[in-house]
Amino acid sequence: MSYWVHHPLYTLGMVYLLLVVLRMVFTWFPLEPGTPAAKVFHYLYVLTEPYLAPFRKVVPPIGSFDVSFIIAFIVLYVVVSYLLSLVRI
């Protein structure tokens, strides 16, 4: 495996990308308040909303589809990849 796969920056970036994807998946299903899934969604919301909110302000939804998740995902992936290219040995 390459060095950058084991770099902490890569790991943190990929974990955060996973959190963003999980939040997107949770929005597809109705959640009952008080259930374990609702609690998980709450934590995902608290962790990802500071990052996703600015995208939602700039990118309007298309119908009922929130495109800001896709834009935020791509931007975060590009930033993590760029930063990894800077620290690569």
**Phi, psi torsion values for 59, nearest 5 degrees:** -105, 110
Q: Which residue positions in the chain have pLDDT lower than 50?
A: 1
Detail the DSSP E strand segments found in the chain. none
pLDDT digits (tens, 9 = 90+) for 54-75: 998 998 888 878 888 889 999 9
Domain hosting residue 35, numbered range: 3-87
pTM, two decimals, is 0.80
**CA-based nearest residue to 74, from 4, 13, 3, 5:** 13
Domains in the chain, number: 1
